[in-house]
Structure 1
């Protein structure tokens, strides 16, 4: 039984309305409905009567609520106690960054943040986009660096940075021989090595849709998140990999080639829960923009840039 599921249950028990409860939790309604069903399945009881014109607590739901309220109050009290003992005005800023954040980004990011708010410590966590979104909504992170498109309903976003993607492939691949930009259709039928969908479902689906529209239908798809494993698969002839220009030299036998038309790109921004925005979050967003710019990303504004045509 997860604490976040109990919090979802308690908010729904107070609102007795899925739409209002989802708005309070800064999430969409379908995921909330699914989490409540998961909790009911785990407990083996029905917590809400959904057959009436209005959602109502069942007897089991009312009993669970009596037990859940003191648990959540205790957790909130513990969090507040920890906030009071943190150093500085804001104490520690807990933030998430993608697992594949390039080496040039973090030194610039941390130095830029320290320059802006020297009395606040930055606590970095390596997390996927979806892991960050869950922790932001649960209050376990103050800000996150996520890849778009993503489910950011109820969250605010800083400026979006864009970095066009190319392809990593074996040096002896026929498409790599002339050294120039490639078209995605030139790779049609090749196996594709890509991050697992669970890391960022909307981004994953978006990338495969663009590949299809641009003439690349993968012969197969293999999933990998560790860069060494990714490169090993490509070296072994098990596929090609879409990514930004490498910050460090690739292993012998691999090359990176740009793609024509800039159809694929990382679109990255800082996101946060509006009610938890403060000076430290603003400083972090500015420092991330600085770090991404140092790594070759370009700022494209406050909203996610549409796909270029």
Structure 2
């Protein structure tokens, strides 16, 4: 039994007239009659009572109509699913985002993208910068929202957005009441930071800035899960650098900005130039809007003879 035979049968069952059914199917009436006869022979039943003045469904025909509609609907759903898996317009765009992306960024990004490209699905993947770059180059991602510095050789990038970082401290910390914290005043204290494997260039960059500003951690502890990070800070096992929390910090913790903003998240969307399409452009635009909603600002190029701002 072929799907086209079920389509012919279903249209005839709805029209109950060979001429009208043939017109809907854009075919001549004799081939339609032959296809219905073929289907009846295959099933071993008569599907229609063919009178001189009218065509009616038999009991077997009515039963088959129920099944054929479900089969055809399932086939159409499968075709639609496959169509939406195509990249770009009327398809799906596979993108990566950092694991600690702020909720307001994610909400804004998804809402804005739905308005810009209503026929395109966003397949989000929570991945580290290096995981995103590897997936992008392998072809399993269309675009990636990455933290700089990182190796984007051979890739195109949207403008970089910057968000200054502060320090997360336990409330009993001597610097907890300060309006701002200087990195050198943290010298010798343990640091809680993401594992280097997540973003090696960014990891090395953060520690390099810390050393340049007079902060050499007495110990380094690695954590990627926010609950684990907060637990270590609460327990006095280290300080942690991150952007301001979306609300009040967890009980027992305080967040303080760093003097002169020496540390920041620098984020952009990157993609492979030859695979660029309209959905990637839309994602890059809404990602910029989403980052702005979380307090990121376009990064200005450093002035000549000035130290770059990171």
**Normalization by structure 2: what TM-score?**
0.70
Q: Is the 8 A contact 1:189 1:218 kept in 2?
A: yes
Q: Following the alignment from structure 2 to structure 1, what is the Cα–Cα distance between the partners of residues 112 and 288?
A: 10
Q: SS of the residue aligned with 1:275?
A: helix
Q: How do 1:122-141 residues align onto structure 2 when only pairs under 5 Å count?
A: 122-141=122-141
- Per-residue CA deviation, residues 258-280 of structure 1 (Å, 9 max, x unaligned), is 00111100000000000011111
SS of alignment partner, residue 282 of structure 2 = helix
Say whether the 8 Å CA contact 1:157–1:302 is kept in structure 2: no
* Displacement after TM superposition at 1:307 (Å): 3.1
In structure 2, how many angstroms separate the alpha carbons of the residues matched to 1:85 and 1:124?
Answer: 14
Larger Rg: 1 or 2? 2
CA distance in structure 1 between the partners assigned to 2:172 and 2:154 by the alignment: 47
Q: Contact conserved, 1:129 with 1:200, CA < 8 A, in 2?
A: yes
- 1:105 aligned residue: 105
**Cα deviation, residue 86, structure 1:** 3.8
Q: 1:47-66 maps to which residues of 2 (within 5 A)? A: none
Equivalence for 2:288: 289
Distance 1:248 1:228 in 2: 15
TM-score, length-scaled by structure 1: 0.70
Taking only aligned residues, the RMSD between alpha carbons, in angstroms, comes to: 2.0
Counterpart contact for 1:90–1:280, Cα < 8 Å: no
* CA distance in 2: counterparts of 1:230 and 1:142, whole angstroms: 31
* Equivalent residues of 1:159, 1:302 under 8 A apart: no
What is the match of residue 38 of structure 1?
A: none
Spell out structure 1 runs of 4+ moving beyond 4 A: 82-85
Task: Kindly report which structure 2 residues correspond to 1:101-180, keeping only aligned pairs within 5 A, or say none.
Answer: 101-177=101-177, 179-180=178-179
CA distance in 1 between partners of 2:227 and 2:180 (Å): 24
1:2-36: CA deviation from partner (whole Å, max 9, x where unpaired): xxxxxxxxxxxxxxxxxxxxxxxxxxxxxxxxxxx
Which residue number corresponds to residue 247 of structure 2?
Answer: 248
Partner of 1:268: 267
1:87 and 1:236 map into 2 onto residues whose CA distance is 47
Distance 1:120 1:250 in 2: 36
Against the structure 1 CA distance between its residues 96 and 276, is the aligned structure 2 distance closer, same or farther, given a 3 Å change threshold? same
Alpha carbons of structure 1 residues 245 and 87: separation in structure 2 relative to 1, 3 Å? closer
Task: Give the aligned partner of residue 89 of structure 1.
Answer: 89
The alignment covers a number of residue pairs equal to 226
1:84, distance to aligned residue in structure 2 (A) = 8.2
Matched residue SS, 1:252: coil
Q: Name stretches of at least 5 consecutive residues in structure 2 with no aligned partner.
A: 1-81
Residue aligning to 1:22: none
